[in-house]
């Protein structure tokens, strides 16, 4: 079985300019856990999921630092702190979506899809044809295919 056989073809997507609040309402209204992000021309840009919304509301992790002779030395990456702050201050999908989302082609085999989906953070897999979004695969689609 291939991606084209199990994917949902009617894909609900969002654009980067919608607010985080609108996104939350959209996901709840359609009872979905995430959506592909597309530009005005319908080109696939990335993926936004409930996980990003939940992570936006987590507590800020302040990195451990040490001070030596008035110099502050981060024991963790200052870039990580910057990324966390950016996530927490996000106001639109553009500020929060995954730009490097894992995708598959229509001819991807079920075993490949299941392997990708079993990895953390891959609950939804967009299906692309020549860079164009043609479907999406969720956990229920994979379970349905396995039980056939």
Measure the CA–CA gap between 126 and 8, rounded to whole angstroms: 10
Residue that is written with structure tokens 């939940």 in the block: 54
Q: 60: pLDDT confidence band, cut at 50, 70 and 90?
A: very low
Q: Which residue has the higher pLDDT, 92 or 7?
A: 7
* Average pLDDT estimate for 19-35: 91
pLDDT at 12 > cutoff 60: yes
Token readout for 114 is 């299941």
pLDDT at 77 > cutoff 80: no
Instruction: Return the closest-CA partner of residue 144 out of 105, 110, 99.
Output: 110
For every residue of 87-133, DSSP letters joined together read HHT--BGGGT-BTT---EETT-BHHHHHHHHTSTT-SEEEEEETTEE
pLDDT tens, residue by residue, 119-134: 988 889 999 998 889 9
Contact predicate 38/44, CB 8 Å = yes
Q: 70: pLDDT confidence band, cut at 50, 70 and 90?
A: low
pLDDT reported for residue 74: 54
* Neighbour tally for 86: CB within 10 Å: 12
Q: What is the CATH number of the domain that holds 119?
A: 3.10.580.10
Give the structural domain span for 8.
3-147
| DSSP code for 49 | E
Check: pTM over 0.75? Answer yes or no: no
pLDDT reported for residue 106: 95
Tally of structural domains, the chain: 1
pLDDT at 16 > cutoff 70: yes
Measure the CA–CA gap between 106 and 132, rounded to whole angstroms: 11
């Amino acid at each position: 079985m291939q991606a084209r056989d199990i994917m949902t073809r009617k894909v609900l997507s969002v654009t980067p300019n919608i607010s985080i609040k609108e996104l939350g309402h959209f996901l709840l209204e359609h009872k979905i856990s995430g959506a592909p992000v597309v530009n005005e021309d319908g080109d696939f840009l990335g993926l936004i999921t409930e996980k990003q919304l939940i992570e936006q509301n987590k507590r800020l992790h302040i990195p451990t630092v040490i001070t030596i002779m008035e110099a502050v030395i981060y024991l963790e990456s200052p870039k990580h702190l910057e990324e966390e702050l950016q996530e927490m201050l996000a106001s639109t999908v553009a500020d929060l979506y995954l730009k490097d989302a894992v995708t598959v082609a229509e001819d991807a085999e079920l075993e490949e899809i299941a392997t990708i989906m079993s990895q953390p953070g891959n609950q939804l897999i967009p299906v692309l044809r020549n860079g164009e979004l043609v479907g999406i695969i969720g956990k229920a689609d994979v379970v349905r295919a396995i039980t056939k």
